[in-house]
Structure 1
Amino acid sequence: MAAKRTVLTVLTSVGLLAATACTGSSDGSGASPAADRLTTTTAPGTSEVDRVTWALPYGEPTTLDPAKVGDYSPQTVMANLCDTLTRMNADFSLSPGLAEKVAWTDDRTLVLDLRSDVTFWDGSPMTPEDVVYSLERQRDPATQGLYGNYLADVTSIKATGAHQVTLRTKGYDQTLPKALSTSFGAVSEQSYTEKAGAAYGTAKGGLMCTGPFELGSWKSGGSLTIERNAAYWDTALKPRAKQVEFRFITNSNTLTSALLSGEVDGTYELPPTSATALAQSDVGAVHLGPSTQNVLLIPGNAESPAADRKLLDALSLVVDRQALIKNVFGGDATTLKSLVPPLTWSGDQAADEFDAAYKELPDAPEPDEAAAKKLVEEAGTPSRPLVAAIPAGDQRALQALTFIQAAAKTIGVEIEIKQLQPTEMSSLFYDPSARADLDLVLTFGYVTMPDPSSYVAEMVNPGGLFNWTNYSNPEASKLLDRARTSSDPAASATAYGEAQALFTPTIPAVYLATTHERMFMNKRLSGAPTSFAYMGMPWAAHLGGTDK
């Protein structure tokens, strides 16, 4: 790797989710029939607004602690509160954030040059010590954080100047600078965080970050409000909205009514049924954006009969994906051939290599009931119904799982649907005991940064956060590590493609679809990004009023 290569100089030109990007079709070409309908953002807002009301269809956040957020609701809110060291843009490109420059000076040294004009909400200046603390806290077992693995090969994190932090590593890691654009790279004030202790990020403990909004009131079970940070360091992104109130609305019918009446101004993750009703009104508009979301059916634990790949292949063969996409996702999705949607790498320098490897994968299967029944015979028909989990009140998930349930019944496999409250659903992703009695989980997952290997590693590598069945494929893990540590983009992409060919047909998972982002916004507002990048950027700071 060339010395002193500035990572953000490279990454800023990477438009991962361009409006015309492709998402992978059943013919393997990657073409999306809806590509011309996708946008990454809306027209800038032109005026200030006193108050915006936004829905969280996945319910109340379990935490806003950047080290622990890992679900839709907390990330939707936290992205507006806690700035990250590099910043995600609406097209999934990266630009400088709290660090104005991120550069490898050699293969084992990553230097972060910090901005000198950043303050926390309480007026205290952000220091290198705050940055070191925030990163080190990620891997402190006492934190119980989700992202400590990003630091697995980091040997030291030190303040090396008045506005500089240096990370020493065992070797080059091409994912590390990209991870700094996620909640892993968010910076919290050390003194405040230490004082709050385990309550940090909760309604009781509060939060202390540097973002364009600061945490206001949080009424557990009711709503959460964020207030404009008048002293925000990035004057080009000073929010036009003085206040944003988040309401926890998990019922699709209730959400539709609130949006139609104007009681709620907008939402991300708009259910298809709501989109249909809202399309007939003139209260606002439904926007479609590109996304890195993946819809998977995965076993809840290694002991379940559903962990048998033959049984999962049988379920895969009996599901009519085109009917699922049309009837459940309103046509706003495409088939998926592996764990990660192609949009994840579409802006990479080696996108052609990634695309070629993905194209070589077998196409999403057409329904074949006879072949599915044969696989069930080989695996053995489960002696009891398989318990499958979805979030309570999520009509899209319920419709999808009901669709799968009906298909499974035709091959003698019974599925029992279990609806979990949002907090229960969120916890099962990180707490093995919460999955002990679950055979299957219908997940609407997502990739948060422009790098497929780090996401996949959590499902493929033994001990990975989402490897719930103790799956092991040493060669695939070796290749994923090569993809992570290679400084040559083409070599990294090639290694990932080889790993993908190994884990795709063997890992316990049913690949169903990759959905488009669906957002609704009242016509009195504009400026919100429409792509899935909203999960990692201060999207509410872009909101403003219109003349409508």
Structure 2
Amino acid sequence: MLMGGGMQLALATGLSATALSAHAQTPRRGGRIRVAGATAAISDTLDPAKMANQTDYSRGTMLYNGLTALDGSLTPQPALAESFTTKDARVWVFKLRKGVTFHDGKALQPADVVFSLMRHKDPATASKAKALADQFESVAATGPDEVTVTLAAANADLPVVLGTFNFLIVKAGTTDFNAGIGTGPFKLKEFKPGVRSVAVRNDAYWKPGKPYLDEIEFVGIADDGARVNALLSGGMDLVAAVNPRTVERIKGTPGFGIFVTQSGQYSDLIMRKDVGPGANPDFVLAMKYLMDREQMRKSIALGHATVGNDQPIDPSNRFYFSGLPPRPFDLDKAKFHLGKANLGSAKVPIVTSPVAMYSVEMALVMQQAAQRIGLNLEVKRMPSDGYWSNHWLNSPVGFGNVNPRPSADTLLTQFFKSDAAWNGSRWKNPKFDQLLVAARTETDVARRKQMYADMQVLISQEAGVGIPLFLASLDAHSTKLKGLSPIPLGGLMGYSFAEHVWLEA
């Protein structure tokens, strides 16, 4: 239902050359690596329901599997479910893979899936995915290797949702997750929250030949400089989330390289349509034409970004509409719309913070351009601490930052639906809302793609949001580490690197 073979092949060709060259090599079995994520806290957890950061996610994908897994185009692929079918996008039938066992030898059963999904609905679980799980009307075993999920309303994206980290499958009845008993490629040897974990190969893993490594030690190092130094001193084989300004140093050191994942992360200029200058659509258009996107890509992101077109679905997403070109940097058009907005000579504050990635630098580039057409932008740099609670969504003109989301529906629902809590510009469009709900229930991929294209055009033309760039995740690694290919949920192969990488002899 979800994809024909030809469509799947076309999507696969969208993977980068990195992925293709990685798969052309023959993986080697054996070896141990040390990996550093960018976060470490005493709240680190092995309970999928409570996982909330890249360190948790990386450990989760070592120890557990989901019913589905998301590939390099964020298309759901079979995992513990060997197939998933629906006739109406409301009732879904998952056929479970035979011969899968947990780390303690217990066979995977439908009861494990029912328990794993339904526990998110219980408020006592305190699941980070409760809002998503609330759509489960029932989850029931309907055969010896079959589970049926019935939703409160149709959602063609259910296989995508179930491919995300919080919905990893655990043993029925589990209350203590510190043993990390799952069906994943590695077994837990040691876990010290906020310090480190050690995982060893699961020789009974259901994927033939995987994983390749014998052991992975994973730590969290919050300081960017400390992570890079640990790598270059030989203490680490792979480190997450390096600053673009350290890229040349890493690439210039023999034996080390950079792994780039182009994703849907973006920093956006938000112009509220209910208050301030953003209430005038000509001001919004003037600001969008003032964005020198190519200069921002080269001088701010140092090339580690793709140019955006003022809507939130990036080119790595299978529903990206390539027929909507980015707005050019055009001072004449910006001046024309600024004149129509008739703002006078008053200063226009634009609120930024280092915590909204590159927002300070983007605002300064726009400020320089604005001076050339008589617009006085006042860049107000706020501290990182408290920015999201005090300034984001509250400032008439200011920047936000959005991390990658697993599906177009999630992204558009959270940030652009008229009643969304995070609808920063307060843009309201009934036609958009209708398209969004209709697309969620549409099982024909071609029709769904057209709906998402129409929504992207509406946002780009009307919403009070400027999205100049989609930002890349940058990881650094020893060149002896092979097998990395991008999965745009985030860095470290969408945090699922463990079963894919190997060490060169």
TM-score grouping bracket, smaller chain normalisation: 0.7 to 0.9
State yes or no: 1:264 paired with 2:258: no
Specify which of 469, 476, 481 is matched with residue 525 of structure 1: 481
Instruction: Give a deviation string over 1:259-279, Cα, whole Å, max 9, x none.
Output: 222222123443322221122
Change (3 A) 1:503 1:437: closer
Structure 2 residue matching 1:160: 3-state secondary structure: strand
**Counterparts of 2:246 and 2:277, CA distance in 1:** 32
Of the candidates 205, 208, 212, which is equivalent to residue 232 of structure 1?
A: 205
Distance (Å, rounded) in 2 between the aligned partners of 1:302 and 1:13: 39
Q: Aligned AA for 1:408?
A: Q
Letter of the 1:479 partner, please give it: L
**Aligned residue number for residue 415 of structure 2:** 459
Counterpart check, 1:14 vs 2:8: yes
> How far 1:38 moved relative to its partner?
7.3
Out of 307, 317, 323, the position equivalent to 1:359 is 323
Q: CA, structure 1 residues 37+518, in 2 after alignment: closer, same or farther (shift >3 Å)? A: same
The letter for the 1-side match of 2:503 is G
Q: Deviations over 1:507-527 (max 9, x none)?
A: 342202123454432123212
- How do 1:399-410 and structure 2 match up within 5 A? 399-405=358-364, 407-408=366-367, 410=371
CA displacement 1:436-471 (0-9 Å, x = unmatched): 8777454252132xx423321221224546435654
CA contact (8 A) 1:114 1:163 kept: yes
Instruction: Check 1:55–1:441 CA distance in 2 against 1; reply closer, same or farther (3 A cut).
Output: farther
1:57 aligns with 2:38: yes
Determine helix, strand or coil for the equivalent of 2:403. Answer: strand
Alignment of 1:94-493 (within 5 A): 94-104=76-86, 108-150=90-132, 154-169=136-151, 172-192=154-174, 195-196=175-176, 207-215=180-188, 217-251=190-224, 253-289=225-261, 291-297=262-268, 299=270, 315-337=287-309, 338-345=311-318, 355=321, 358-360=322-324, 363-366=327-330, 370=335, 378=343, 386=351, 388=353, 390=355, 397=357, 399-405=358-364, 407-408=366-367, 410=371, 411-420=375-384, 440-443=398-401, 445-448=403-406, 451-464=407-420, 466-468=422-424, 471-493=427-449
Equivalent position amino acid for 2:501 in 1: L
Q: What amino acid is the match of 2:163? A: S
TM-score, normalised with respect to structure 1: 0.75
Q: Deviations over 1:317-355 (max 9, x none)?
A: 433211111122222322111110132117xxxxxxx64
Contact 2:272 2:279 in 1 (8 A): no
| TM-superposed deviation, 1:226 | 3.8
Q: 1:86 to 1:455 in 2, by over 3 A?
A: same
CA contact (8 A) 1:225 1:244 kept: yes
- Alignment of 1:539 with 2:503, yes or no, is no
* Residues 546 and 67 (structure 1), Cα distance of their counterparts in 2 relative to 1, 3 Å cut: same
Distance 1:70 1:309 in 2: 38
Provide the rounded CA distance (Å) in 2 between the counterparts of 1:293 and 1:131.
Answer: 30
- Measure, in 1, the Cα distance between the counterparts of 2:315 and 2:106: 42
1:87–1:95 CA contact under 8 A, matched in 2: yes
User: How far is 1:237 from its partner?
Assistant: 1.8
- CA spacing shift, 1:157–1:387, aligned 2, 3 Å: same
**Corresponding letter in the other structure for 1:56:** G
1:294–1:445 CA contact under 8 A, matched in 2: yes
Instruction: State the Cα deviation string for residues 346-386 of structure 1 (Å, max 9, x = none).
Output: 7xxxxxxx64xx42466354456646865886399578673
RMSD: 3.9
| 3-state SS of 1:504 partner | helix
Contact 1:84-1:182 at 8 Å conserved across structures: yes
Measured against aligned partners, the alpha-carbon deviations of 1:55-80 in whole angstroms (never above 9, x if no partner) come to: 22366586554345455444344333
Secondary structure of the residue aligned to 2:461 is coil
Whether contact under 8 Å (1:336, 1:513) holds in the other structure is yes
User: Which AA in structure 2 matches 1:109?
Assistant: V
Task: Give the C-alpha shift of residue 48 in structure 1.
Answer: 0.9
Counterpart of 2:381, as a letter, is I
1:504 partnered with 2:450: no
Q: Greater shift after overlay, 310-319 or 265-274? A: 310-319
Q: Distance in 2 between matches of 1:227 and 1:117?
A: 21
Shift of 1:475: 1.5
Per the alignment, in what secondary structure is the counterpart of residue 235 of structure 2?
coil
Contact 1:89 1:95 in 2 (8 A): yes
Q: Please list the CA deviations of residues 484-524 of structure 1 after superposition, one character each: whole Å capped at 9, or x if unmatched.
A: 21122222122222222223333342202123454432123
Aligned positions, number:
492
Aligned residue in 2 for 1:26: none
- TM-score, length-scaled by structure 2: 0.81
Alignment of 1:45 onto 2:3: no
Q: Which amino acid aligns with 1:544?
A: W
The runs of 5 or more residues in structure 1 that have no matched partner are 22-34, 347-353, 392-396
TM-aligned CA distance change 1:76 to 1:146, over 3 Å? same
Give the Cα–Cα distance (whole angstroms) in 2 for the partners of residues 245 and 304 of structure 1: 47
Offset of residue 112 of structure 1: 0.8
Question: Secondary structure, in 3 states, of the residue corresponding to 1:532?
Answer: coil
Query: Aligned letter for 1:137?
Result: R
Unaligned runs of 5+ in 2: none
| Cα distance, 1:390 vs structure 2 | 0.5
What code does the residue aligned with 1:340 have?
A: I
What do the CA deviations read for 1:193-251 (whole angstroms, capped 9, x no partner)?
xx35xxx6xxxx67543222345545455444444334433343234141232332432
- 2:230 counterpart SS class: helix
Q: Which SS does the other structure have where 1:407 is aligned? A: helix
User: Quick one: distance in 2 between partners of 1:77 and 1:375?
Assistant: 54
CA distance in structure 1 between the partners assigned to 2:392 and 2:89 by the alignment: 40
d(CA) in 2 for partners of 1:471, 1:479: 15
